[in-house]
Amino acid sequence: MAPWRGTHTCPDCNKTFTQKISLSVHRMFKHGAPRRYRCPQCTYQAPTKEYLKRHMRVHTNERQYVCPHCGKGLKTAESYRNHLVIHTGEGRFVCPVCHKAYNHKGAYHDHLRTHRPRRDYACDYCGAAFKAYKHVARHIRAVHLNEKSFVWCATCAVPDT
């Protein structure tokens, strides 16, 4: 066998690799990593120990990242960066109408809907109309089910659970 020919074969696509680590990286990014590390507190399964360690923070009240602007504590570096956009106005996606910035494409698209006149989502209980389904769900919980389990953040006007 030629020295450049791989001896480690991917069981999913038969591509060969010269190093086992290369096969592992390939499988993780091309076919989804095998989920070998199980959370002892829920059904989550992680591909690496590091992912499991990061996930375990959801089961604690540990808030490692604290916003210097409002003091809000956040569990991950990603959620911290996304939160800072509220104060700095600097994000990857910027609304062409009001210039509000977002780091998540989904949140950006949700926001764009606020500039449309249409309210496509209605409450089944009272008929109140909203521009996003998540607002209907929040309305039903707060008004019709009298669920007051969330507190509003005064800075960003988002429920803080």
Q: With bands split at pLDDT 50, 70 and 90, how would you rate the model's confidence at 142? A: confident
Mean pLDDT of 102-126: 88
Mean pLDDT of 140-155: 66
Q: Which domain holds residue 85?
A: 65-113
Query: Is pLDDT above 60 for 1?
Result: no
Mean pLDDT of 130-134: 84
Mean pLDDT of 105-125: 89
Q: What is the CATH number of the domain that holds 31?
A: 3.30.160.60
Q: 19 and 38: one domain?
A: yes
Q: Burial level of 49, CB count in 10 A (0-12/13-18/19+)?
A: exposed
Q: Is residue 3 part of a domain?
A: no
Mean pLDDT of 145-158: 56
pLDDT of residue 96: 95
Q: 88 and 129: one domain?
A: no
Interatomic CA distance for residues 77 and 64, integer angstroms: 9
Q: 106 and 129: one domain?
A: no
Q: Is residue 148 part of a domain?
A: yes
Give residue-wise pLDDT tens across range 44-90.
888 788 888 888 888 888 888 899 999 998 888 888 888 898 888 88
Q: How are the residues of the chain apportioned to helix, strand and coil, as percentages rounded to the nearest 5?
A: 35, 15, 50
Q: 102 and 125: one domain?
A: no
Q: Is residue 146 part of a domain?
A: yes
Q: pTM of this prediction?
A: 0.46
Q: 73 and 106: one domain?
A: yes
Among 113, 132, 147, which residue terminates a domain? 113
* Number of folded domains that form the chain: 3
